[in-house]
Amino acid sequence: AEVTLEDLDHVGPATAQKLRESGYNSVEAIAVASPTDLSLSADIGESAASKIINSARRSANIGGFETGDLVMERRKQVGKLSTGCSEFDEMMEGGIDTQSITELYGEFGSGKTQIAHQLAVNVQLPNEQGGLNGSVIFIDTENTFRPERIKQMVQGASEHHNIDYDPEEFLKNIHVARAYNSNHQILLMDSAMELAEESKNWEQPVRLLIVDSLTAHFRAEYIGRGTLADRQQKLNKHLHALQRFSDLYNAVIIVTNQVMSKPDAFFGDPTKPIGGHIIGHTATFRMYLRKSKGDKRIVRLVDSPNLPDGESIISVTPLGLTN
């Protein structure tokens, strides 16, 4: 029989009703909620909310096991993508991992899109130059992908490695799709999978998938308290598709997430990125970008399963990212 909200520990009829009124219609929706969101929606304490979420996770059977040797076998294949900045690379012990989701969050103009463009160039380089000899899928939700910028960065790479790279070839290996709304963005993952599958026969298979921005459409479309559950559930589903993609194709996943410096009436704490909890638990690496003097940006590694937190400074120059 289907598990209903009333079957969960610590959920009586009154709480179940409040949860439903706030859009938490299923055990799955609760399983992926954050304690803060749930406690606000149902007027219960955060610790009670946590207990309800744990109970929902057990019921929804989220999780599952595999043996450590299998995990180790997969981990051996992890590749490193160089950012082109030695400090940044050192912070990441060689570069950005494949088989992981890396979230870049920061204010407008903090360099998220610039890093995305630079990685779209670098991933195409051979291993000796810090690349993965791969192609790119770029899901562009804000219409900020710029081929001109790629060309400049390829010129930068040519100068840096003293090799005459052809910018046109680099552009041909970047597959860009505009996402017009959050549903479209989610649907594009199906095409991305197809393309990555097909690319296994290419000279340069897809090794990098960028979603810039991950959250903008969700932020614009889901406004207000009653929509939180729905939004988090959709984001969560999207992130799981991204995680699956990174595992299947041993790819780097870059997602961006804009945060605001000024208090935001709809989303509460301005220092917390939207989708905070969900992304925090799914993204493997989270980096917080801040503007510094001139073209300098500070990249702070906020959360990592195997690396210490750290900071590095990069410059965004006409020829791309440098130290």
Nearest of 89, 84, 151, 56 to residue 321 by alpha carbon: 84
**Letter for the amino acid at 299?**
V
Q: State the nearest-atom distance from the C-beta of 136 to ligand ADP, in Å.
A: 16
Binding stretches for ligand ADP (CB under 6 A): 106, 108-114, 149, 152, 316-318
The interface partner of residue 273, options being ligand ADP, Mg ion, none and the CB cut-off 5 to 8 Å by kind, is: none
Return the one option of Mg ion, ligand ADP, none that residue 317 interacts with (CB less than 5 to 8 A, by type): ligand ADP
Minimum distance of Mg ion from residue 6's CB (angstroms)? 44
Q: Distance between CA 83 and CA 96 in Å, rounded?
A: 7
Count how many residues are written for the chain. 323
Least Cβ distance, residue 106 to ligand ADP (angstroms): 6
Whichever of 124 and 258 has its CB closer to ligand ADP, that residue is 258
Indicate the annotated binding residues for ATP. Answer: 106-113
Q: Which is nearer to ligand ADP, 149 or 231 (CB)?
A: 149
Element (H, E) at 93: none
Which CB sits closer to ligand ADP, 32 or 214?
Answer: 214
Supply the DSSP symbol for 273: P
Name the binding residues: 106-113
Q: Which is nearer to ligand ADP, 242 or 299 (CB)?
A: 299
When the beta carbons of 108 and 202 are compared against ligand ADP, the nearer one is: 108
Which CB atom, from 133 or from 144, has the smaller least distance to ligand ADP? 144
212: which 2 tokens?
A: 């810039």
Q: How far is the CB of 171 from ligand ADP (least distance, A)?
A: 16
Distance CA(255)–CA(139), nearest Å, equals 10
Compute the least distance from the CB of residue 211 to ligand ADP, in Å: 12
Distance CA 79, CA 75 (A): 9
Q: Which does 173 bind (CB under 5 to 8 A by kind): Mg ion, ligand ADP, none?
A: none
Integer-rounded Cα Rg, in Å, for the chain is 21
Least Å from the CB of residue 320 to Mg ion: 16
110 binds, among ligand ADP, Mg ion, none (CB under 5 to 8 A by kind): ligand ADP
Q: Which does 134 bind (CB under 5 to 8 A by kind): Mg ion, ligand ADP, none?
A: none
8 A C-beta contact, residue 136 and residue 206? yes
| Whether the Cβ atoms of residue 212 and residue 173 lie closer than 8 Å to each other | no
Ranges assigned E (strand) in the chain: 80-81, 96-97, 100-106, 135-140, 174-178, 206-212, 252-258, 285-291, 296-303, 310-317, 320-322
How many C-beta atoms surround the C-beta of residue 19 within 10 A? 24
Q: Which of residues 137-156 bind Mg ion (CB under 5 A)?
A: 144
Give the C-alpha separation, 299 to 95, whole Å.
13
CB of 113 or CB of 204, closer to Mg ion: 113
For Mg ion, which stretch binds (CB under 5 A), given 12-20, 24-32, 112-120, 128-136?
112-120
Instruction: Please tell me whether residue 113 binds Mg ion under the rule CB under 5 A.
Output: yes
Note whether 135 binds Mg ion by CB under 5 A.
no
The residues with which 286 forms a beta bridge, in sequence order, are 103, 303
Residue 86 one-letter amino acid:
S
The CB-of-233 to ligand ADP minimum distance in angstroms stands at: 26
Binding site for Mg ion (CB under 5 A): 112-113, 144
